[in-house]
Structures are given as structure tokens and as C-alpha cells.
Amino acid sequence: MLTPAPFDKLRLRQYPPVKQGQAYNGADTLLVQAALASGCPGEQILVVNDEFGALCLALRAGALWTDSWLASQSLKNNLAANEASAVKLCWSTEPLSEIVAKNSCALIVMRVPKQQAYFEYQLSHLATVLPVGTTVLVAGMDKHLSPATAKLLETYIGPTERHRGQRKARMFTCMKDSRRPAPYAEIGEYFCEPLNSNLISMANVFAREKMDIGSRFLLENIAGLEASDSIIDLACGNGIIGLSALSQGLCKKLLLCDESAMAIESARRNAQNVVPGRDISFHHGDGLIGYTGDPVGLILCNPPFHLNHAVDETVGRRLLVQAAAHLLEGGSLCLVANRHLNYLPVLKREFKRVEKLAQNGKFIIWKASR
């Protein structure tokens, strides 16, 4: 029999704010109930992939391992709203060994991430740092779980129990044993024709194995854009669009922004390899919020179109509004969008002139100028 999770006693909000959004789901509930029943003190719990901070708050966890700046901001806001003490944050790009040793992590509480490559990377890394005997609780919503979940846990961590589904979610309990699985080859790599060079991507980066067809279409159409001293690649992923624009002479200075720590780190490594010594800076955050650099003449963007697992226009729209505020008078935003995403009303509202630069069966490239 399930007892209600203690989320009700907490003030929890999603960041970015979503109308009628709930900051926890059935998978979080199963994890909190099992973690509390284990009796493990909160400071010895490491939470992995908490979306909005609900797990960390309900468990008073010692640390969070995450790739997402948005998730870190949700946690920060929710800690403040509940006057709760700080949770140590460890980015996906940082090794866990120090946190595991310092917090003497006795329990891992993990939400299955969206990308399987990232899940495997995380399990493979946990396998190298966790002491034998550590319990790992893992859960996800039924509609998002792959049939391979239990097998992956067995491969990387150890003996795994698959629990009965409840609340449209399922939990797995596994115990770290002495196996030493081969490390997961997390770096994806492909040849990028516009750069005449290979690009790498870490495990949680968009289009890790090959160039996205939307990015390709945008790059086929940027040559005619007016060059600008500085360009921003907003939501840069591995940096493909901004680095290509720089190498084609569209700008002297480039800013690469993304909310994923692995995207920023991949873009940084690609910048070093492909255009060493060039004037490139990085912003890890929610679009351009908090960015204090000068406005620029051109922003290029292949915007995100998913909110967690669902196709959603609001995430992209927020970035387009931010772009308008960081352009010089006369500057332009050039973005590629799937034809079924309706960005035109927001572009018309935020910009003086909006034109269709190109289109094909799948995408439209919009140029919106101030």
C-alpha cells in the first residue's frame, strides 16, 4: 500500500514556469517512498537527474548530479521557497568521486534520463566510483522507459530487482557488486562538411552521432547573411552552427550558449580543435538570461522543441523573445524551425520585419530583424 509522498508539504515550482505544471511525477513518488523507507540519512543520498528539485527537497539530499542548468535553477528556487539548506551540485561533466567520498554516499536515487547514451554514461561512471554494496534506486515513467532498462542496470551496476508498476511508473532496485564493466564510449563524433572537420559530442548532447537535418538546412542558407562583428549561437549544442558561421567569416567574435553542461563542454572542445585561438566565449544558462555582454548583429538558432519528452513550442518561444532583447538595432535573428511549429506570431510581435529566407518539405528558415 502506497503512502502519499511528502511533496504535499513542500512548495514546489517548475523552472521555467509552466502553466498548471507539477514539479514531480509518479516516478519521483516511488523513489521518495523507497528512499525514505531505507532509513538512509539525507546527507548520504546522491540524487541523479532530479528535474525540478522535488527529490532533493523531499529527501533533504546531500548532492545532485545533473547536466541541466534549468534543473539546477529549479532546485535553487525551490530550496529558497522552502527555506531548505543547500544541496551540493555536481555537473554531469565533473567526476563524482569527490562527492561520493565526501558525502559518504550510501544511496543513489536516480531518474532515468531521456537519452540512452547519457543513461549508459552515468551508469558506467557510477560503476567506477560506488563502493560495493551501495544501493541504487532507479525509476522512470512507463511511457518513457525502454525495455532494456533492467538489463543496463544489471550490466553496469549489479543484481537488479524490477518492481511492480505503480502510478504509471516503475522502479528498479540494484546493488553495486564487484563487476567492472567496460567504460561506456560516451563521445560521439561525425564529420561536419561545412567545417571540413570532425565534431565531437558528449553523451547528453543533441544530435550526438550525426548532423541534425535542421542544422544542415540552416547552414546551407547562412552564406547570404550580413556579416557582423559578433554572433550568438543560441542553444548551441556541440557548437556546429556558430563554429561554421565563424569559419565562413560571418563574424570575428562568437558566443555559444546552452543549458546543458555537456553541450557547453563539447562546444568548448570543438572550438579548441576546429578554430583554435579565435575569440569565442561560452554561456551556460537559460538562453541569454543573465548574459551581460554587448548586443550583437546576428543571432543564429536551431531552437529546442521538446519540453522533457513532449514536443512543445513554448521552450523555443522563450528563446526568441530573449534573442530580440540582445540584438543591435537593425540586427537579425535567423532560425530554423520545423514547419509544424508556429513561431510566426511571436516573431511578428517581437521583431520589426520577419521574412522567410528558405523552406523545404520539413523546415522553414526565418529571418527576423529589429
Ligand X SMILES: C[S@@+](CC[C@H](N)C(=O)[O-])C[C@H]1O[C@@H](n2cnc3c(N)ncnc32)[C@H](O)[C@@H]1O
Instruction: Report the 10 Å Cβ neighbour count for 304.
Output: 18
Q: How far is the CB of 21 from ligand X (least distance, A)?
A: 15
Whole-angstrom Cα distance, residue 210 to residue 201? 10
Q: Helices 240-247 and 213-220, interaxial angle, to 10°?
A: 20
Number of residues forming the site for ligand X (CB under 6 A): 20
Is residue 341 helix, strand or coil? coil
Pairing outcome for strands 188-192 and 197-201: antiparallel
The residue among 150 and 289 lying less far from ligand X, judged by its C-beta, is 289
Is residue 75 helix, strand or coil? helix
> Which residue is nearest to ligand X, using beta carbons?
237
Interaction between residue 212 and ligand X (CB under 6 A): yes
Residues 307-336 that bind ligand X (CB under 6 A): 315
**Residues 6 or more apart in contact with residue 173 via CB below 8 angstroms:** 34, 135, 136, 137, 138, 160, 161, 163
The residue among 115 and 173 lying less far from ligand X, judged by its C-beta, is 115
Whole-angstrom Cα distance, residue 117 to residue 33? 28
The residue among 137 and 245 lying less far from ligand X, judged by its C-beta, is 245
Please, are residues 200 and 189 in contact by the beta-carbon 8 Å criterion? yes
Amino acid at 24: Y
Out of 50, 286, 313, 350, the only residue in the binding site for ligand X (CB under 6 A) is: 286
Q: Which stretch binds ligand X (CB under 6 A): 18-26, 56-64, 87-95, 233-241?
A: 233-241
Binding mask 37-76 for ligand X (x = CB under 6 A): ---------------------------------x------
Interaction between residue 263 and ligand X (CB under 6 A): yes
Beta-bridge mates of residue 258: 284
Out of 287, 365, 367, 370, the only residue in the binding site for ligand X (CB under 6 A) is: 287
Q: What single DSSP character describes residue 19?
A: T
Binding mask 81-120 for ligand X (x = CB under 6 A): ----------------------------------------
Q: Which stretch binds ligand X (CB under 6 A): 72-80, 95-103, 177-185, 236-244?
A: 236-244
Out of 122, 302, 332, 369, the only residue in the binding site for ligand X (CB under 6 A) is: 302
Whole-angstrom Cα distance, residue 149 to residue 112? 9
Residues that bind ligand X (CB under 6 A): 70, 206-207, 212, 215, 235-237, 240-241, 257-260, 263, 286-287, 302, 304, 315
